[in-house]
Chains A and B, each alone.
Chain A
Amino acid sequence: MLKEETRLGLWRILLILGALSLVEAAVRVGWINPFFLASPLQAVAVLWSQVVGGNALFLTLVTLYEIGCALFISTVVGLLVGFILWRYRLIGASYEMLLAALFSSPIILAYPIFLVTFGRSSAAVIALSSIFGLIPIIMNTKSAFQQVNPILLQVGASMSLTRRQMFRHILLPAVAPTIFSGFRLGLTYILKSVLGLEYVVQVGGVGMWLSDAAFRFEVGEVYAGLVGTVLLSVLFLYMINRAELLVRR
């Protein structure tokens, strides 16, 4: 008897393979013009040739570098600002609303401002993507400290813990899961922002490759780039989810 999770996983794989087989058949039979739609096998073959002989790996590294830089900036600034917003209540209550308003606005459309300021380079992508990651990390850090059970702090005080011990043994374990949720959200937004901006601005890594292939009307490469981008996004989300499970344990 298969485990529930394995059975569900098999169903998902079957669904994906079924959909891809339909597309493959539609292109091969000629229902869809291959000028518009590359068959999945062709897309995978082009992707593989780019990984083995082309510069797909280098472009992936560029994308990962941008994601890493944006995440580093978001985390450092986000944790600090989130802590300050929790520590000083008036400032926290005042700026939380402004941050939420900024978060729900289409800030990605402001990318030309970043292009003018940083030039058409990875720095512009990193700077704007950092803002996407920053806001959820700030909000979650603030709410993590707010949600710490006061009884835990009273227990710490009754055991005469120093400020450092209180932070290390009580505050940190209590806030870690919520902060990690913000970190997960931030990383997801950074991933979307980096890949989207790379495509729109045509700089950097995988997104730029996709844009470049579309510009040259290389249909196989467009779909290969698309498959690569989807795989990268899915892999990232899977790793983030696994890491969150580990932190919550």
Chain B
Amino acid sequence: MLQEILVGLIVLAAFAVCVWKLMPARRRLRALVALDAWAARHAALSGFRERRLKPRIARAAGTGCAGCAANVGIKPHHPR
């Protein structure tokens, strides 16, 4: 039974990771910004915001593939 519960939790976590990773970059950035706004209202989460959330937001703003994730995004230029 314990094995079943553990496996269930692992599968749920994997599913959440899949959804997160496959989410469009812009929506992921919006989700992170919303999470940051929520965390800002809770003083206990200030360390989490500084150490984890802020760098993630900076990376998500890159919107490229993993190799370009350090790039800072720019507004798309209309081609014509």
Whether chain B is bound by chain A comes out as no
Q: What is the interface of chain A, defined by CB distance below 8 A to chain B?
A: none
